[in-house]
Chains A and B, each alone.
Chain A
């Protein structure tokens, strides 16, 4: 929960390089934009619709970024993301970014790291894994494992993209892919050793990880668990106070037990959050 020091938000009109549907209702959108240059894993961008009936930006996590190119993988859930899914090569889209704090990658140095993604929480883990793997020889993580949770075989996406960056464990609700159970079940059953967890996914998964981290701490283990939270947003830049989360301590900005997910987050260490 650290507001990045050199936070600079820009508005840009990005050009679509390509878009494809990875599996039913999950789209991969590759954009040409200078916003990509400052992107960090765990950050997000706001995409604006052109239909005047849809005023609020769509916050979408960054799946990968390299110089001038941003990849977003998102689920089509309604009219706004439906509009985005119709974008084709050569089209443009207005956006602001990069938003939020991103994961603290320095915590990975010399540590055994697990990146946990559940459903639409999987995309940002790809960017994170790629950067951590690139650091392996230069003081990065001691080991790197991805644990990916899917609903079922039909909803598998991005699975093979992770192979290049470390070992991969999968889990699914119905057992049709990998472990039959949750990502936390998979971590326990595989007895995956970890000092640092980076996670993104649905709230029940993040709660379970927070409990897991707390259990580990009670056995005397020094473990860090960073989770990316989600909430309905309006501005995305800390002005409207729409997207707060309850914090364990009084937040420095709000002076109450609320932190802005769009600025102080979306990534928080689990001990910073009031989970009940």
Chain B
């Protein structure tokens, strides 16, 4: 008998534990030709802000060994365009059983709340609040690095949100457990981690930074062990569900993340290498479950021994 792959986050049941990582998958439409979107447990959108954001100058991308740096700077057309142009497609996908999670970004608490308010009556299952982007100067990561501010912004978002909220945390902190607890105390329904690790790359021939922003966020398989460790620490610090991400490239990586404590996982950078990666990973998780006689995939969460 095939294993039950469903997982539940804040009362929302996903048909399997695999979702896209925000910023790597556009709003889904872009990948429509290359992957069966209805296979995904959930689709997490590109970050949406109150008004259009320009993002950073180019170059915004640099490849690194088994990873990449990006400094997009959360360019997006703003919530009004998002609702008008992207929501109909997402609503149709939701009708086919893939959960929709909208990633919300802002420079200030007010900006987060503007987006959250606009999403109140939209067919959206969960909100992921980005308090962890390393590439935007104001707001964003500042909220995610200070436990007092994180708790406050979480409380404010929770008060306004019609949907359960996931606080997306940055790994660029001394002790992730402190931030995980702050999010939980602020009323978060779940947390997701890790966002990218701040990095830098220099072209030694030209003696220039490869990214116009100088620093960027490191992602990809290179960061996977760091992500596993942080998901383990965070999940042991809180009782709310943890969505684990960071360099997941295979079903094995996804299972590892669940064993460390994740209730669900997100796949990001690997999609750039292989557009169908998420579907392959879902199939590999199912094969793992069958090989190990696992009836319910949620049994794996935090099940690492010793």
When the two chains form their complex, are residues A253 and B77 in contact, meaning their CB atoms are under 8 A apart? yes
Cβ-closest chain A residue relative to B219:
A55
When the two chains form their complex, are residues B65 and A232 in contact, meaning their CB atoms are under 8 A apart? no
Known: A9-B33, A240-B23, A243-B58. A234 touches B70 (CB 8 A): yes
Number of interface residues of A (CB under 8 A): 33
Chain B positions within 8 Å of A245 at CB level: 58
When the two chains form their complex, are residues B75 and A241 in contact, meaning their CB atoms are under 8 A apart? yes
When the two chains form their complex, are residues B273 and A57 in contact, meaning their CB atoms are under 8 A apart? yes
Encode contact with B along A1-32: 1 for CB under 8 Å, 0 otherwise. Answer: 00000001111000000000000000000000
Which B1-46 residues have a C-beta within 8 angstroms of A? 23-26, 30-31, 33-34, 46
Set A55, A80, A256: member contacting B75, Cβ < 8 A? A256
B67 at the interface (CB under 8 A from A): yes
When the two chains form their complex, are residues B58 and A256 in contact, meaning their CB atoms are under 8 A apart? no
**Least Cβ distance of B65 to chain A in Å?**
5
Which B37-83 residues have a C-beta within 8 angstroms of A? 46, 52-55, 58-63, 65-68, 70, 72, 75, 77-78, 81
A53 at the interface (CB under 8 A from B): yes
When the two chains form their complex, are residues B59 and A239 in contact, meaning their CB atoms are under 8 A apart? no
**Least Cβ distance of B82 to chain A in Å?**
10
B192 at the interface (CB under 8 A from A): no
Known: A55-B63, A239-B31, A255-B77. A96 touches B53 (CB 8 A): no
Chain A positions within 8 Å of B81 at CB level: 255
When the two chains form their complex, are residues A55 and B58 in contact, meaning their CB atoms are under 8 A apart? no
A268 at the interface (CB under 8 A from B): no
A257 at the interface (CB under 8 A from B): yes
Chain B positions within 8 Å of A55 at CB level: 63, 66-68, 220-221, 269-270, 272-273
Set A48, A80, A240: member contacting B72, Cβ < 8 A? A240
Set A8, A235, A258: member contacting B30, Cβ < 8 A? A235
B275 at the interface (CB under 8 A from A): yes
C-alpha gap A237/B272 in the complex (Å): 10
Interface of B, secondary structure class, is loop
C-alpha gap A11/B276 in the complex (Å): 9
Chain B positions within 8 Å of A119 at CB level: none
Which B118-161 residues have a C-beta within 8 angstroms of A? none
C-alpha gap A123/B47 in the complex (Å): 38
Set B34, B68, B70: member contacting A237, Cβ < 8 A? B34
Known: A56-B61, A234-B61. A239 touches B273 (CB 8 A): no
C-alpha gap A9/B34 in the complex (Å): 7
C-alpha gap A233/B269 in the complex (Å): 13
Chain A positions within 8 Å of B60 at CB level: 232, 241-244
Cβ-closest chain A residue relative to B80:
A255
Cβ-closest chain B residue relative to A242:
B61
When the two chains form their complex, are residues B68 and A234 in contact, meaning their CB atoms are under 8 A apart? yes
**Least Cβ distance of B63 to chain A in Å?**
5
When the two chains form their complex, are residues B77 and A10 in contact, meaning their CB atoms are under 8 A apart? no
Chain B positions within 8 Å of A239 at CB level: 24-26, 30-31, 46
Give me 28 A-to-B residue pairs in the complex whose CB atoms sit less than 8 angstroms apart, sorted by A's number: A11-B34, A11-B276, A55-B220, A55-B221, A55-B273, A56-B61, A56-B68, A56-B272, A56-B273, A96-B275, A232-B58, A237-B34, A237-B275, A238-B30, A239-B25, A239-B46, A241-B60, A242-B58, A242-B60, A242-B61, A242-B70, A243-B58, A244-B55, A255-B77, A256-B52, A256-B55, A258-B55, A258-B75
Besides A232-B61, A243-B61, A258-B54, 11 new A-B residue pairs in contact (Cβ under 8 A), listed by A number: A11-B275, A56-B61, A96-B275, A232-B59, A235-B30, A237-B275, A239-B46, A241-B75, A254-B52, A255-B78, A256-B75
List the 5 closest pairs (A to B, CB-CB), nearest first: A239-B26, A255-B77, A239-B30, A242-B61, A255-B52
Chain B interface residues toward A at CB < 8 A = 23-26, 30-31, 33-34, 46, 52-55, 58-63, 65-68, 70, 72, 75, 77-78, 81, 220-221, 249, 269-276
Chain A interface residues toward B at CB < 8 A = 8-11, 48, 52-57, 80, 96, 231-235, 237-245, 253-258
